[in-house]
Amino acid sequence: MRISPNLVPMLVVALVVLALYWPLMYLANIPVAQRALDTGAALPCQTAFECATQLRSPVLPSPQQLWNGFGNLMFPLNSPNAIPINAAVTAFETVVGLLLAAVVGFFFAIGMVASRAFERALLPWIVASQTVPIIAIAPMLVVLLGQYGVQGWLPKAIIAAYIAFFPITIGVAKGLKSPDPMALDLMKTYNASHWQTYLKLRFPASVPYLFTAFKVAMTAALIGAIVAEISTISFQGIGKMLAENSRASDVVAMWVIMLSSAVLGILLVALVNWLERLLTPWRRTSGGAAIPAKQARLSRREGVG
């Protein structure tokens, strides 16, 4: 097992950020603490410096507060108000949304590859749907689906899918078009039917592109799921916790939830990475993508040195 050359610099950067956090925290919190003391609020401390780490709604929470808040929100693990269950619900919605998006994305991508007319008629709107702040539609879509009896996790998954289908469509279309013209010619000489060409050549060729698209789409779907939870009456999920604590102005809890959802996002993308490694083993060994990266690195070194 080789240790990544990035490890030491990454650790140094993390330490610098941590070291800078303390003075920043004091700098941001002391004026607030002073004001609280001046107005005579009941605080368990005398000086502004002491109070800076104990404010109820700090500008930047102290590490101690974060740690306590983390303990409060994480445990007990199976409580409906704790992060683990809510994160699992959001993750479930995200993954279902991603799968829905994959189905829709494949449909559009096959249409676009098979027919130029289809592409001409729909592609501008698929692209335009991305320049549109899709998220704006989420609150309305949720209310609408609720009116027709679609409730619970399904509307959130649908919104997640709606936000995630675009990168998948584009990625799969690129992948379906990616086979070597020689390979396509070979299929033709074998008298392969349309379907055989897709099954034996185009679909396998699109798998690497699919995973690249999945990584982008996973984050998009997570955002969609969280926004959907925020803008509806939901009983579970990270979004519901965010909305609740935002209303209750519990700053420390909001920080904890923010950090946990960041971890959730990273884990979900890592899941896609792991699946990619599992399902496309030929890319790992042949290292098709590794070579250009290495070249770029070499050329860079030369340029710097």
- Which residues would be at the binding site for another protein (CB under 8 A)? 5-6, 8-10, 12-13, 57, 59-60, 116-118, 120-125, 128, 130-137, 139-140, 143-144, 147, 215, 218-219, 222-223, 226-227, 230-231, 238-239, 242, 245-246, 249, 251, 254-255, 257-258, 261-262, 264-266, 268-269, 292, 295-300, 302-304
Alpha carbons 96 and 206: distance in angstroms, whole number: 21
* Cβ closest to another protein, residue 58 vs residue 201: 58
**Residue with smaller CB distance to another protein, 57 or 196:** 57
The amino acid sitting at 273 is: N
Nearest-approach distance from CB 203 to another protein, in angstroms: 25
The smaller minimum CB distance to another protein, of residues 204 and 246, is found at 246
Please, which residue, 192 or 271, has the CB nearer to another protein? 271
Whether the Cβ atoms of residue 228 and residue 140 lie closer than 8 Å to each other: no
Query: What is the Cα–Cα distance from 251 to 203, expressed in whole angstroms?
Result: 48
**CB of residue 151 to another protein, shortest distance in Å:** 15
CB of 242 to another protein, least distance (A): 6
Smallest separation, CB 226 to another protein (Å): 5
By the 10 Å C-beta count (0-12 exposed, 13-18 middle, 19+ buried), 129 is classed as middle
**Of 178 and 295, CB closest to another protein:** 295
**119 burial class (0-12, 13-18, 19+ CB within 10 angstroms)?**
middle
Nearer to another protein among residue 87 and residue 102 (C-beta): 87
> Closest separation between CB of residue 124 and another protein, Å?
4
Residue whose CB is less far from another protein, 187 or 223:
223
Taking the least distance from each CB to another protein, the nearer of 231 and 234 is 231
- The token pair that represents 101 in the structure block: 């998006």
Q: C-beta of 167: minimal distance to another protein in Å?
A: 11
| Minimum gap (Å) between residue 218 Cβ and another protein | 7
Q: Report, in Å, the least distance between residue 58 CB and another protein.
A: 9
